[in-house]
Amino acid sequence: MDSLSLSSLPFLVIPLVIIFLLSRSRSRTSSSKKLKLPPGPPGYPVVGNLFQVAFSGKPFFQYIRDLLPIYGPIFTLKMGTRTMIVVASNDLAYEALIEKGPIFATRPSENPTRIIFSSNKFSVNAAYYGPVWRSLRRNMVQNMLSTARIRDFRKTRDLAMDRLVDRLAAEAAANDGAVWVLRNARFAVFCILLDMCFGVEMDEKTIQSVDDMMKSVLIVLDPRMDDFLPILSPFFSKQRKRVQAVRKKQIETLVPLIEKRRQEWIKHGSASNSFAYLDTLFDLKVEGRKSAPTNEELVTLCSEFLNGGTDTTATAVEWAVARLIENPAIQCRLADEIRATVGEKKVDEKDVERMPYLNAVVKELLRKHPPTYFALTHAVTEPTRLGGYDIPTSASVEFFSAGIAEDPKVWSDPERFDPDRFFAGREEADITGVTGVKMMPFGVGRRICPGLGMATVHVNLMLARMVQEFEWSGYPDTAKVDLTEKLEFTVVMKNSLRAGIKPRG
């Protein structure tokens, strides 16, 4: 769930007048429904809790955190015309996403901006639970994200890691030993995903233009007031024009890459010496549809592939480096493990599988800093109950994964960043949630992130290479790491991490 954009509020007065005029009719309609929804903070007629959330001055996740002790692990927020149900306990997440998995596996209807960017819900993440979702997801998982396919892209990752190390060294040399962590990690993972998606290594200029375009997409996807109160849409015509312009730009940027690859694919087919996600999509058979995806749909599917794994992975790496700087003993132990496992050789992803301490660091990282804090929004396929409350099909259901990771009933000393909880086997957690939910950085159940395996390889490998090559410290080296969070598309560090690096001798 992204933040509400306050800057997009045109006027406050007009909505308030509308609210006043509509308040009576609303109270009549809601009393006719006899649903027992989870409790929640009292709201105002028509807008419900929308303005309380938007004007709280807090990031959305903080607003939710603060409500947990008051309303418990399941509560309702009325966000204008939308009913949002927040679920923040491991037991309820298990009941919903595992025990009642198929019922909680769909997505809610989209706002107009998301309809445009998802090509009317034609993507894995946006599709309703049903045949389109099954076809798209099966294709992505079997053809791109299976263990065997991930292995095929090993060379791409090696190249991207070499490039990352070179970029870091060059940036440090030009800046008194200082580097920006998120930006570099983001660039590295974006290069890998671009290559996997389009089948070609791209020059830095093309990469930058695709990246800039993707960032502007994420910005316009931020929910606006009129998404929750459609009655306000006349006041947002400028923003709607911006949405159209960004979509146009997205199509203009990606269609030439798609067409170039299509010509290759027609000419060489499976004889081509590279493989790309796009190749699997050109003639994809989607249940219930006669035609192959259009170019605009391909733009949506490629963007999903790039977006799904870029900021999430880079965010995880930024938090990881912050934690290593904050805890030099953990960094030393990691460097020792790498040296003991590979000696002077460059660490690669096969080695990473033999590094239990690194794996424990990454697991603890994903527990303490799940990059998105919420799963994507879920909805139910039929009216159901959860924790004794009604869940109507019209509700958006938000799973607050960060709340579960911070729950002292689930974790000992949850605030502490402590990889030893996993290394020493003191605590365990099945990240897929099948045997019980204790942490869910990738979601769990039918909609679990299909990129889980690849993302884990990326985070482990990037961290291993970065620690093998460099010693990491604050910049300047006396600076204390500021762990304040900020919601962008993911939950990043409020003050983007600038670290000092020295080649490790």
User: Residues in the site for ligand HEM, rule: CB under 6 A?
Assistant: 124-125, 137, 304-305, 308-309, 312-313, 316, 371-372, 375-376, 441-443, 447-451, 454-455, 459
Q: Which residue has the tokens 């929750």?
A: 228
Nearer to ligand HEM, 321 or 375 (CB): 375
Nearer to ligand HEM, 233 or 381 (CB): 381
| C-beta separation of 493 from 323 below 8 A | no
Q: Which residue has the tokens 């870029």?
A: 310
Backbone phi, then psi, for 179, in 5-degree steps? -135, 150
Return the DSSP state at 374. B
Give least dist CB 393 to ligand HEM, A. 17
| Pure H helices in 406-501 | 420-423, 452-469
Give least dist CB 311 to ligand HEM, A. 9
Relative to beta strand 82-87, strand 396-399 is parallel
3-state secondary structure 197-216: HHCCCCCHHHHHHHHHHHHH
Give least dist CB 52 to ligand HEM, A. 26
Q: How far apart are CA 443 and CA 266, in angstroms?
A: 38
- Supply the angle between the helices 295-326 and 181-198 in degrees, to the nearest 10: 150
Helix (H, G, I), strand (E, B) or coil at 430: coil
Nearer to ligand HEM, 222 or 318 (CB): 318
449 is in an annotated binding site: yes
Q: Taking the CB of residue 327, how many other CB atoms lie within 10 A of it?
A: 17
Task: Kindly give, in sequence order, each residue whose CB lies less than 8 Å from that of residue 71, ignoring residues fewer than 6 positions away.
Answer: 38, 39, 40, 41
Q: How far apart are CA 29 and CA 108, in angstroms?
A: 22
Give least dist CB 144 to ligand HEM, A. 7
Nearer to ligand HEM, 194 or 455 (CB): 455
Structural Rg of the chain based on CA atoms: 23
Nearer to ligand HEM, 76 or 460 (CB): 460
Nearer to ligand HEM, 51 or 400 (CB): 400
Q: How far apart are CA 472 and CA 327, in angstroms?
A: 11
Task: Kindly give, in sequence order, each residue whose CB lies less than 8 Å from that of residue 303, ignoring residues fewer than 6 positions away.
Answer: 117, 214, 217, 250, 254
Q: Among 102, 128, 83, which residue's Cα sits nearest to residue 394? A: 83
Give least dist CB 28 to ligand HEM, A. 35
Give least dist CB 104 to ligand HEM, A. 9
Give least dist CB 178 to ligand HEM, A. 25
Give least dist CB 301 to ligand HEM, A. 9
- Supply the angle between the helices 452-469 and 295-326 in degrees, to the nearest 10: 40
Nearer to ligand HEM, 53 or 448 (CB): 448
Cis peptide before 131 (omega within 30 of 0): no
Nearer to ligand HEM, 305 or 411 (CB): 305
Token digits of residue 255: 């269609």
Q: Binding-site residues, please? A: 449
Task: Please enumerate, by residue number, every residue annotated as part of a binding site for heme.
Answer: 449
